[in-house]
Chain A
């Protein structure tokens, strides 16, 4: 009897351990490459950079991740420690803390939400590790907590989208709905604000606004709800392409033609979005450039060399209508 119990316990332990190991090696793959923690930049010229990504919530994010991983390579003099926060702030704080303990040279991250970073950034500052923000900003009164913020101007993106809508459809009494990004995230707050200010004074009315959490699945369900709740939607403004693509599915399922019966305007310009724009299912896309890798590499080197860097580096964004999308599509990088 005792033997059976022992066998069982051992079997259970082994099986549990093997599964955990499986999970661990996949989710933390880039997190802790063997023994890279103690490398010091000055010694070998290799810059150890800890990067905490938001997650893999959209095509944009995938392109952003790829750009960073492709630029910060060993050939370019970087040792990249990459971790995925799965859209949770606590995961990001944990990742940043672990980078601090490992003593990396630079920490870079895209904050999931705007607030709540002061404590962990103070810790980084106390440890003398410079912090660079990419893509999203933090809302803190103390600007010395980070060296630089590289990313697009989200308010401007919202304005560009709103201005195009105002230009095209003002005077037709359009009713618009909005698919917001993750509640509390900088791009969601800023794009909403920019769009609202741009359509102010026109007869375009924003009749409903809900969060689709930047994902396709939620964009689709929320759009279905909008179609149930309102008869007369003329336009959808989605804070990213993926939610717009979800909305296309919902609109098609409702027997309507996206791009014709209901106009769609989105932000990001990732590949799937551009394809839908070229196919006439989306009407206008404001680009949000995800290729932040080269800028990040550049700023990280400058910061470590003790050079002055600009607090705010704005990435230039373009905008595409359907004709421009057809032209641009074959040569797009992402």
Chain B
């Protein structure tokens, strides 16, 4: 039991379960998954699909954070990706042709990869602080997206592109299959090879790792490029979801959601040890939280407050200092029954009440 409690994924998973329970109480059939038109349908499936873009962005963010960096530009890259893909499809004479759609996807992904490479160049070669380096693209990126779409919301009708957003593959949403697939591949590559360890070494001490033969510069460069690429893919999923490229609002604040997912997942922003499975749970928590707001019928006026309270609760439960206090308080409680029950416990501090609350 203690091992379960101590496991780094315990609190994020507990938060996820608590949200699902709250939804099920409000709506008993919440977890029901049915088959309609040959594919699965239900709230859990919706959550998997809405998690997809965030998961991709958070995946790149985890790798960047592992090297002691941060990538604030992902939201803007999401907007650029959608803008490029949809503008290409809209300007093509045959929007329903798979060739057009594949070209659009390739164009968008290559450009986003380049944007990631640009970030990596600023950070690893020029040695600019990551928060500043990526801030440049965060501010300028949306401008670039606006330039591409001409300040309008570009909408298209293209059946093959729509598959990305609302299609199904083997009964599951294409978006979810793609995102979870990419996640699995990256997790495999990072954890089954020495790559993960090298990334952590770079994050813990770049100078020492370089001196011991780790090519930290190349590694850092690579993670920013990967982050850009994943954000680009997320941008495609987001724009395919509504078949519209909205330069102002697509992926707005997704960088913050992604950082939050990483933190909920137990990866420290100070770099070093990182935790991909935690990021997965973190992304699911955020997507479920957004769904919970609608299911519980929380008024739009208090939605941000409600979300903040949940996030505060999760992060508090995760903080090592808070956990120490909780454990100490629990120990006192366990020991307390040994004493005569009538006497007030002299060692009772505000800490012990926190457990009940």
Contact = CB atoms under 8 A, between A and B. Distances in A.
Interface of A: 8, 11-12, 15-16, 19-20, 22-27, 29, 55-59, 62, 65, 84, 86-87, 180, 183, 208, 210-211, 215-217, 220-222, 224-226, 228-229, 231, 245-246, 249, 252-255, 272
A229 to B, nearest CB: 5
B46 A12 contact: no
A228 B122 CA distance: 45
Interface stretch (B104-112, B220-228, B264-272, B287-295): B287-295
B249 interface: yes
Given A27-B143, A29-B151, A208-B297, 6 more contacts: A12-B128, A56-B248, A84-B146, A86-B248, A210-B297, A220-B242
Given A12-B128, A56-B246, A26 B290 contact: no
Contact of A180 (B136, B247, B300): B300
B318 interface: no
Interface string B233-269: 0000010011010111110000000000000000000
A84 B242 contact: no
Given A12-B128, A183-B300, A210-B300, A23 B139 contact: yes
Dominant SS among interface residues on chain A:
helix
Contacts of B153: 56-59, 62
B300 A57 contact: no
A56 B291 contact: no
A220 B249 CA distance: 14
Given A228-B27, A228-B294, A22 B140 contact: yes
A228 B46 contact: yes
Contacts of A225: 291, 293-295
Contacts of B300: 180, 183, 210-211
Nearest to A19: B140
Interface of B: 26-27, 29-30, 36-37, 41-43, 46, 50, 122, 126-128, 136-137, 139-144, 146-147, 151-153, 155, 166, 238, 241-242, 244, 246-250, 290-291, 293-295, 297, 300-301
A27 B246 contact: no
Interface centre among A23, A55, A65, A229 (most CB of B within 10 A): A23
Contacts of B146: 26-27, 84
Nearest to A218: B249
A246 B140 contact: no
A247 to B, nearest CB: 11
A65 B149 CA distance: 14
A106 B27 CA distance: 54
A84 B43 CA distance: 37
Contact of B144 (A8, A11, A26, A255): A26
A37 B301 CA distance: 40
Contacts of A253: 41, 46, 166
Contact of B241 (A58, A208, A220): A220
A226 B238 contact: no
A20 B152 contact: no
A257 to B, nearest CB: 12
A277 B289 CA distance: 33
B37 A57 contact: no
Interface centre among A27, A84, A221, A222 (most CB of B within 10 A): A27
Contacts of B241: 217, 220, 249
Contact of B246 (A57, A183, A272): A57
A111 B211 CA distance: 58
Nearest to A17: B136
A20 B41 contact: no
B142 A87 contact: no
A53 B128 CA distance: 36
Contacts of B26: 229
A81 B137 CA distance: 26
B249 to A, nearest CB: 6
A250 B216 CA distance: 45
Interface centre among A22, A183, A220, A225 (most CB of B within 10 A): A225
A220 B301 CA distance: 19
B249 A57 contact: yes
Contacts of A217: 238, 241-242, 244, 246, 249-250
Given A19-B137, A59-B153, A62-B152, A26 B147 contact: yes
A11 B143 contact: no
A87 B247 CA distance: 12
A248 to B, nearest CB: 10
A210 B249 CA distance: 18
Contact of A8 (B126, B166, B242, B248): B126
Given A20-B140, A26-B143, A12 B244 contact: no
Contacts of B139: 20, 23
B290 A221 contact: yes
B144 A228 contact: no
B295 to A, nearest CB: 5
Contacts of A255: 36-37, 41
